[in-house]
Amino acid sequence: MLTDIAVAGTVRGGILELGDRRAVLEQGIRQLPDGDYLVRVEPAGGEPQRSDRQNRYLHGVVFSALSDHTGYTISEIKLLMMGECWGWQHAGGHEIPIKPATHEMTREECARFIDWIIPWAMEHLDVALPLPNEGDV
């Protein structure tokens, strides 16, 4: 089971103050099995997130084509591809991608990911992914 849970917070005087704690619990922390988890703190805002067009291309074309070809679920293939591209980290006895989700990519990173995955899929899986329409990503 892989679950993304996010909550806003503020650091004041070296102490992390979470936003709506109830929302965090309602998002699923209480539902998670006991175990080790990676908790990431990152600045809010920052560079613009990957675009909707990039997201539609990745999920509607790339991940679905690779899922169909390999038999992995879209979630599994997405994690595998993110790890292959961005690298892996050891957390709680597991190897997880440094960037496990596409929403963690900026537009520039997503463009690099798309430029990487098209030739990777051809070389390693013999899958010719359709190119994104010019201007789409």
Question: Mind listing the pLDDT tens digit for each residue in 20-63?
Answer: 777 666 667 777 888 887 777 766 666 678 888 999 999 999 99
Quick check: helix, strand or coil at residue 114? helix
Q: What is the DSSP letter of 92?
A: T
Query: In the predicted model, is pLDDT for residue 82 greater than 90?
Result: yes
The answer to which of 8-12, 37-41, 112-116 has the lowest mean pLDDT is 37-41
CB 63 within 8 A of CB 74: yes
**Which pLDDT score, from 0 to 100, does residue 1 have?**
46
Q: What's the whole-model pTM score?
A: 0.64
Bridge-partner residues for 102, per DSSP? none
Average pLDDT over residues 63-90: 95
Instruction: Quote the Cα angle for 84-135-83, to 5°.
Output: 10
CB 49 within 8 A of CB 106: yes
49 phi and psi angles, rounded to 5 deg: -65, 160
How far is CA 79 from its chain centroid?
7
